Homo-oligomer: A and B are copies of this chain.
Amino acid sequence: MVIVLKADRNLEKTAALKKRLRERGFELHESKGETSRLIGLVGDTSVLDIDDLLAIDDVVEDVKRIQEPYKKANRKINPENTVIEVAGTKIGDGNFQVIAGPCSVETEEQITEVANDVKASGAHLLRGGAFKPRTSPYSFQGLESDGLKLLLAAKKNTGLPIVTEIMTPEHLDLFEDVDMVQVGARNMQNFQLLKALGKIDKPVLLKRGLANTLEELVMSAEYIMAGGNDKVILCERGIRTFETSMRNTLDISAVPMLKKMTHLPVIIDPSHAAGIRWMVEPLAMAAIAVGADGLMIEVHNDPENALCDGAQSLRPEQFDKLMKKIEGAVEFFGKTMN
């Protein structure tokens, strides 16, 4: 961390700041310029908040962070790729997986049919929403605990591990038999939820928020890991920009950048990224090519009557064709789907 001091700084307060930093165990390296004066701080600066230093505004002009503020998720500290196992299915370090299923669980028939279809097509994990975050209070909010039961029944019938979204720590008990818990984009910085998930022994699929930086995504993973749960998979699902022709803008570069920053697996959700059915295939191909460890794809047996996100859901026969292309591309780019 580098602290830039003001040219006309209060000397007494400057001395006090230096003393305080030394007392907290930092080594100080100073360098003087004509128009600026820098202090290089050596030590574990992840405990320092830039804003706290900026608050001393008759001394400090600016603060630049040099070291990353994350530790457990940092690839520098743990250089090997992490592999996450979800009920025996490996994700990461060459193991590529497809998570498929409907936006929301609607009926027993629907989830069973879709589960059987995606399994037959080669998906290894089943997704399905029971608790749904919707912008409008007048939209379908999910079947809630009944939806979870239907999803667990589909798991029993097909043997597919299940992934579903949690919206509040109060619901954790209900998720006992869920194989991987998903944190949605709108809850990426629901810190009470992240803290609760740090205390369970279950993989967490953490989606990037609509307008969150990659560093913030990693810091949210760090919340879970700092609590004791190392099993975090990151998911890019499109960010919000000025472009209006698609629901979101898929930040494909997030994959290589997150892999440089962290050792965690990174998957892509092309369905939410574009919000348009016909765009799922090209984005899925791009995701594999760029190095993602998996895909999360919405599939619905009757998208025209889906209670949510039908516009971006593939029909089972479309998904089946796509899976053949995915298998080919995954192999071409050197990963395995087992």
Contacts and interface: CB of A to CB of B under 8 A. Distances in A.
Interface in A280-308: 282-283, 285-291, 303-304, 306-308
A257 to B, nearest CB: 5
A195 B282 CA distance: 34
Max count, chain B CB within 10 A of own CB: residue among A140, A187, A253 = A253
A101 interface: no
Interface size class of A (residues with CB under 8 A): 35 or more
A329 interface: yes
A210 interface: yes
A252 B283 contact: yes
A226 B252 CA distance: 34
Contacts of A138: 46-47, 69, 226
A255 B243 contact: no
Given A46-B136, A216-B135, A290-B282, A52 B310 contact: yes
A312 B31 CA distance: 28
Contacts of A192: 131, 167-168, 170
A29 B35 contact: no
A185 to B, nearest CB: 9
Contacts of A159: none
A291 B285 CA distance: 9
A282 B283 CA distance: 14
Given A35-B67, A242-B241, A135 B282 contact: no
Would you call the interface of chain A mostly helix, strand, loop, or mixed? mixed
Nearest to A166: B192
Interface string A61-88: 0101011010000001000000000000
A251 to B, nearest CB: 5
Given A192-B168, A222-B136, A253-B279, A213 B311 contact: no
Given A31-B42, A332-B332, A306 B55 contact: yes
A210 B140 CA distance: 25
Nearest to A62: B66
A33 B38 contact: no
A144 B174 CA distance: 26
A188 to B, nearest CB: 9
A279 B260 CA distance: 10
A32 interface: yes
Given A252-B286, A282-B289, 8 more contacts: A2-B66, A31-B31, A32-B42, A62-B66, A135-B219, A190-B190, A213-B242, A289-B329
